[in-house]
Amino acid sequence: MKTLVTKIEALYNALLAMKIATFDDIVQKATTNVSVPPNREYINQKYVSKLTKNHKLQRIRKGLYLVLSPLEKTETYIPDKLLIAAKIKQQYYLGYHTALEYYGCAQSLWNEAYICIKPKSRFDPFKYKHLSFKPVFTNDTTTEIHQSLYLNIAIKVSSKERTLMECVTKIQYAGGWEETIKSLEGLGGVNQEKLLTLLSKQKNQMAIKRIGYVLELLKNRSQFYEHIEDQTLAEIQELVTEPAQYLIYGERGALHEKWKLYVPESFEEKLRGI
| CATH code for the part of the protein at 81-272 | 3.30.460
| pLDDT under 70: residue ranges of the chain | 1-5, 270, 272-274
Q: What length is written for the chain?
A: 274
pLDDT of residue 273: 54
Give pLDDT tens digits for 207-227.
Answer: 999 999 999 999 999 999 999
pLDDT of residue 105: 97
Give pLDDT tens digits for 140-168.
Answer: 999 999 999 999 999 999 999 999 999 99
Q: Which residues contact 50 (CB under 8 A, 6 or more apart)?
A: 8
Common-topology check for domains 2-67 and 81-272: no
- Report pTM: 0.91
pLDDT of residue 240: 96
pLDDT of residue 267: 86
Domain range 2-67, CATH architecture:
Orthogonal Bundle (1.10)
| Domain residue ranges of the chain, discontinuous segments joined by + | 2-67, 81-272
